[in-house]
A and B are shown apart, each in its own frame.
Chain A
């Protein structure tokens, strides 16, 4: 295709992506270097019979005018990145100096908002992704053995948790595990502890969120693996059977190797989606025990009346960096493949 023609074909989509994805990243970066204006203070002196008294007041008008003139705020350099709400260098150094053992030090660190969110996001990604891969494969093999008549309805039901709006799906589960909901109330009865609340304990909150994650994304790996199973060469399976391989062995040595290329694709998709976990935290209102990187950005922007653009920007930049790190192996591999094809 000629460069000129290519240009005209790609123009609409490229301009949409440049204007609303590439430039916003630049804008986020610039924002992250600025911080909200301080209030303009006026010091006035009022003198009475017993001497003069100085009072400091916020000049609302001047503050508003300043915000109007420079909506970005004042330049702050990389200070936002290192403050308490983000990388918190000072607090970590302080914790390192004052705590006795590693456990206490780590506890101090995980109390800092950014590290708390980062820990949850990474744990969530690291736990949910492999679980979904294994369980998805198991369900796919199971469905593959079903009579033909049942396959269609099974896939229909399986698609529901995946395609349902994440906010809505997590709300549905949240209402069920509520203290008065069916699962919550049943658990209370089973454990004999009427005050048991899945929302009150950090561990249970984490387990609940990850269960939601598995429930929500399992269908994706199931569907892809199921499609892969349809293309396993029949001849090889037959040959394995004739050679005396048990079903388990032919699964282990024929089917699974055939699915390995799919595995890369599925895990890439799952990693990307799990890393941006966000809606369940809103639905489960779990911010006291579990937050994610996406959620703290949302929270900064939500600060009603006075959004913290600088703070949100800094977290956003670090999240984007995280995504790039996560994707690097894939990018390098694709680059090699592309070169091999080209030459």
Chain B
């Protein structure tokens, strides 16, 4: 819309002037939001290659950009000291490895359980299916830490506290309500006729699921899998309470870093660990942006 003549007495011209002002405001708002969203990450990634005196520089914040103290201490503007300290000295690789194991098994088991259950709920239509979904909604809303307080005592008694399999099973269970809801609404979108015609042709329900539904379900499963991944990867409440120090995953490891390294003046170890733990998420968003967006909106659009 281009308006070249300005006539203050014409109300329609004034009305058509509005968009440009609105557009400018919305551009500014988006710009501001992008800075707020991205700056903390850029700042921390850049700063993780500096020494503490630069990253936490009271005197002059540009020190962190130019690395004045980093040059003075190490001879170069970039240093890997933080990363070396975290990964080698504090053995962060152990935590990374544990995270890989926990996340991998949690995602695989959650999806297996979730697809079977979600499919059944989508095709049932009985009252009890509805009540199961409602129960799942309440479970989904419960803070995870409330459940953890129920686990500790029995797990200590049975001597299964502190090991990875226990944590994996717990994360799978905590993940189920969400996985069920998501896959349930996804299976609702696959026409009933597909599996039912297979059953008319003589397949059992499971065969119909195996040969008709499984080949077409992957987009939904991948989207759900991404969120299962995020839940397991980002978890702090469960992993910090249920894992022994030796079996810690990355997030509780970072939390316990804070206690130990702050005292020894090695905050940069924690900064490096934080950047290392964020990097995989960055890659994930880069490759799966579209699936993540569709997953976030799935629940909303489909009811």
C-alpha spacing A307/B284, complex, angstroms = 38
Name the CB-closest residue of A to B250: A165
Specify which chain A residues have a CB less than 8 angstroms from the CB of B179 in the assembled complex: 13
Are the C-beta atoms of A27 and B150 separated by less than 8 Å? yes
A220 and B296 in contact, given A9-B119, A156-B286 (Cβ under 8 angstroms): yes
Name the CB-closest residue of B to A318: B146
Min distance, Cβ B135 to any Cβ of chain A, angstroms: 8
Specify which chain A residues have a CB less than 8 angstroms from the CB of B180 in the assembled complex: 13
Is the contact region of chain A dominated by helix, strand, or loop, or is it mixed?
Answer: helix
A167 and B12 in contact, given A21-B174, A28-B150, A142-B29 (Cβ under 8 angstroms): no
Are the C-beta atoms of A160 and B37 separated by less than 8 Å? yes
Number of A-B pairs whose CB atoms are under 8 Å?
299
A312 CB-CB contact with B under 8 Å: yes
B129-151 with Cβ < 8 A to chain A? 129-130, 132, 134-151
- Would you give the 0/1 interface string for B106-139, flagging 1 where the beta carbon is closer than 8 Å to chain A? 0000001110110111011110011010111111
Specify which chain B residues have a CB less than 8 angstroms from the CB of A261 in the assembled complex: 300
B159-176 with Cβ < 8 A to chain A? 169-170, 172-174, 176
Are the C-beta atoms of A165 and B251 separated by less than 8 Å? yes
A297 and B26 in contact, given A6-B124, A165-B281, A227-B293 (Cβ under 8 angstroms): no
Are the C-beta atoms of B30 and A146 separated by less than 8 Å? yes
Contact of B141 (CB < 8 Å), options: A301, A316, A327: A327
A24 CB-CB contact with B under 8 Å: yes
Interface residues on B, range: 35 or more
Name the CB-closest residue of A to B154: A27
**Which of B15, B114, B209, B267 neighbours the largest number of chain A CB atoms within 10 Å of its CB?**
B15
A47 CB-CB contact with B under 8 Å: no
C-alpha spacing A228/B303, complex, angstroms = 13
Are the C-beta atoms of B151 and A24 separated by less than 8 Å? yes
Which of B39-47, B67-75, B80-88, B217-225 is near enough to bind chain A? B39-47
A246 CB-CB contact with B under 8 Å: yes
Min distance, Cβ A255 to any Cβ of chain B, angstroms: 12
- Would you give the 0/1 interface string for A279-323, flagging 1 where the beta carbon is closer than 8 Å to chain B? 100100000000001100110110000010100110010011001
Are the C-beta atoms of A168 and B297 separated by less than 8 Å? no
Are the C-beta atoms of B254 and A279 separated by less than 8 Å? no
B231-254 with Cβ < 8 A to chain A? 233-234, 236-237, 241, 251, 254
A157 and B34 in contact, given A142-B29, A165-B278, A182-B64 (Cβ under 8 angstroms): yes
Are the C-beta atoms of A176 and B40 separated by less than 8 Å? yes
Contact of B117 (CB < 8 Å), options: A2, A13, A186, A265: A13
A138 CB-CB contact with B under 8 Å: yes
B270 CB-CB contact with A under 8 Å: yes
**Which of B37, B64, B139, B205 neighbours the largest number of chain A CB atoms within 10 Å of its CB?**
B37
Min distance, Cβ B275 to any Cβ of chain A, angstroms: 9
Are the C-beta atoms of B117 and A145 separated by less than 8 Å? no
A158 and B33 in contact, given A10-B121, A298-B145 (Cβ under 8 angstroms): yes
Specify which chain B residues have a CB less than 8 angstroms from the CB of A165 in the assembled complex: 233-234, 236, 251, 277-278, 281
Name the CB-closest residue of B to A159: B285
Are the C-beta atoms of A172 and B41 separated by less than 8 Å? yes
Are the C-beta atoms of A19 and B173 separated by less than 8 Å? yes
A167 and B254 in contact, given A24-B151, A142-B29, A223-B296 (Cβ under 8 angstroms): yes
A254 CB-CB contact with B under 8 Å: no
C-alpha spacing A266/B301, complex, angstroms = 11
Which of A48-56, A202-210, A270-278 is near enough to bind chain B? A270-278
A297 and B117 in contact, given A165-B233, A171-B274, A215-B36 (Cβ under 8 angstroms): no
A175 CB-CB contact with B under 8 Å: yes
Are the C-beta atoms of A6 and B120 separated by less than 8 Å? yes
Min distance, Cβ A247 to any Cβ of chain B, angstroms: 5
Are the C-beta atoms of A167 and B40 separated by less than 8 Å? no
Contact of A10 (CB < 8 Å), options: B55, B132, B145: B132
Min distance, Cβ A111 to any Cβ of chain B, angstroms: 23
C-alpha spacing A31/B237, complex, angstroms = 19
Contact of B139 (CB < 8 Å), options: A17, A156, A185, A186: A17
C-alpha spacing A269/B297, complex, angstroms = 12
A131-156 with Cβ < 8 A to chain B? 135, 138-139, 141-143, 145-146, 152, 154-156
Min distance, Cβ A45 to any Cβ of chain B, angstroms: 38
A25 CB-CB contact with B under 8 Å: yes
Specify which chain B residues have a CB less than 8 angstroms from the CB of A298 in the assembled complex: 145, 237, 241
Q: A161-B37, A172-B41, A309-B153 are in contact. List 10 more A-B contacts (CB 8 A).
A: A1-B120, A12-B113, A142-B26, A145-B26, A163-B292, A165-B251, A167-B251, A175-B44, A313-B149, A330-B137
7 pairs of residues in contact across A and B, judged by CB atoms under 8 Å: A21-B173, A72-B153, A139-B29, A139-B33, A142-B33, A163-B281, A320-B146
Interface residues of B (CB under 8 A from A): 12, 15-16, 18-19, 22-23, 26-27, 29-30, 33-34, 36-38, 40-41, 43-44, 55-58, 61, 64, 112-114, 116-117, 119-121, 123-126, 129-130, 132, 134-154, 156-157, 169-170, 172-174, 176-177, 179-180, 205-206, 209, 230, 233-234, 236-237, 241, 251, 254-255, 258, 267, 270-271, 274, 277-278, 281-282, 284-286, 289, 292-293, 296-297, 299-301
Interface residues of A (CB under 8 A from B): 1-3, 5-6, 8-10, 12-14, 16-17, 19-21, 23-28, 31, 71-72, 135, 138-139, 141-143, 145-146, 152, 154-161, 163-169, 171-173, 175-176, 178-182, 185-186, 188, 215, 218-220, 223-224, 227-228, 231, 244, 246-248, 261-262, 265-266, 269, 272, 275-276, 278-279, 282, 293-294, 297-298, 300-301, 307, 309, 312-313, 316, 319-320, 323-324, 326-327, 330-331, 334-335, 338
Sorted nearest first, the 9 A-B pairs with minimum C-beta distance are A24-B150, A20-B173, A142-B26, A13-B117, A9-B120, A276-B143, A180-B56, A316-B146, A142-B30
